[in-house]
Amino acid sequence: MSEYANPSVLVSTDWVHERLNSGIKIVEVDVDTQQYGAGHIPGAVAFDWTTQLQDQTRRDIIGKDEFEQLVGAAGISNDDEVVIYGDNNNWFAAYALWVFKYYGHDNVKLMNGGRSKWLDEEDKPLTTDVPSPAPTTYTVKGTNPAIRAFVQDVLGVVKDGNANLVDVRSHDEYSGKVIAPPGMSETAQRGGHVPGAKSVPWVTAVNPDGTFKSRADLEKIYFQDAGVIEGKDTIAYCRIGERSSHTWFVLKYLLGLPNVKNYDGSWTEYGSMIGVPIER
C-alpha cells in the first residue's frame, strides 16, 4: 500500500491482526447494524451510523459535544490510534473516518477490505464478546471544515465551474432512472445529477475482495477515463454522504488531491430543493 499518496491512513487486515493487543482502538461501523453482533474483531466497539453518528433532530452529523461523549465512552483518547472498518466495502467506516477527521482526530486509519475481508481469512479471529472499555475524557480541539461541502459550495461550482464534481452513485441514479437503490429508504423529490458532475460510481475503486485498486488503476479511472482534473478542488457526493465518503477517501488519501470535500447533504438534499438546476 506504499504506492498510495498517503499510505499511512490505510492498513491491512494482517497489520490489524498483528496489533490486536498493542493498544490500538478498533471501531466497526456497518450499513447493516446487526452485523457486529454476529461476530467482530476482538476488542472492537461498534458505532451505529443511524443513531450515534448523525444528529437525531436535525439533518447533520453529530455535534462536537456528542462526538466527545461517543468517543470518550468508547475508551478512545485524543492521542489514540484508531482503526475503523465495516461492511459494504467500508461505506460507513469511511464516513466515520471522515467524521473523526472533521473533528480533528488525525491518527485514524481505514482497514483495507473491511469486514468481509477479515471474515474471508481463516486465520483472523472473531468474537461476539462486547468490550467494556474504561471511559476517557475526549476533547475536540478544533474542527476541519475544509473537508466538508455544503449545498452553497456545490451551487458555486455549478455557476463557476471552479472545481470537480464527482457523482459516486450508480449510473441509474446519475441518469435519473432511479432516485435511490432498491431497498434504500432515503430519497429525493427529483432524479438526475448536479450539472457538470462526472459519473464515477464508488464501486469502480475497489477489487472483488473489497480492497482498493492500485494507484495506477485509480488514476486511470478518475483522471483519464472520467476527466477529473488533478489541479482543481473536488467535491464528491452520493445520496446521503456515505458512498461519497468512500470516494473522498480515495481522492484525498490514495490519490493525494490537495482539496477534496465530501458533500454529505448529497442527493437527498440537492434533489429536493426548489429551483436548483438538475441534469439527466
Nearest alpha-carbon partner for 199 in 227, 179, 159: 227
Q: What are the cell numbers at 274?
A: 426548489
The answer to whether 259 touches 172, Cβ cutoff 8 Å, is no
pLDDT of residue 20: 97
What gap in Å lies between CA 226 and CA 253, rounded to an integer?
19
Q: Would you list the domain boundaries of the chain?
A: 7-143, 146-270
Whether the domain at 7-143 and the domain at 146-270 fall into the same CATH topology = yes
pLDDT of residue 278: 98
Tell me the CA distances in angstroms from 127 to 90, 133, 229, 237, one per residue in order: 20, 16, 45, 35
Rg (CA), the chain: 18
What gap in Å lies between CA 204 and CA 207, rounded to an integer?
8
Contact residues for 44 (Cβ-Cβ < 8 A; gap 6+): 26, 27, 28, 36, 85, 131
Q: Does domain 7-143 have CATH number 3.30.70.380?
A: no
What is the mean pLDDT for each group of 10 consecutive residues in the chain (280 residues)?
92 98 96 95 97 96 98 98 97 97 98 97 97 97 97 98 97 96 88 98 97 98 97 96 97 97 98 97
CATH superfamily, domain 146-270, is: Rhodanese-like domain (3.40.250.10)
The answer to whether 205 touches 231, Cβ cutoff 8 Å, is no
DSSP letters spanning 165-200: EEE-S-HHHHHTS-SS-TT-----SS-SB-TT-EE-
Helix, strand and coil content of the chain, in percent to the nearest 5, comes to 35, 15, 50
User: From the candidates 221, 238, 251, 260, which is the catalytic residue?
Assistant: 238
The answer to whether 116 touches 32, Cβ cutoff 8 Å, is no
pLDDT of residue 182: 85
For this structure, is 238 an active site residue?
Answer: yes
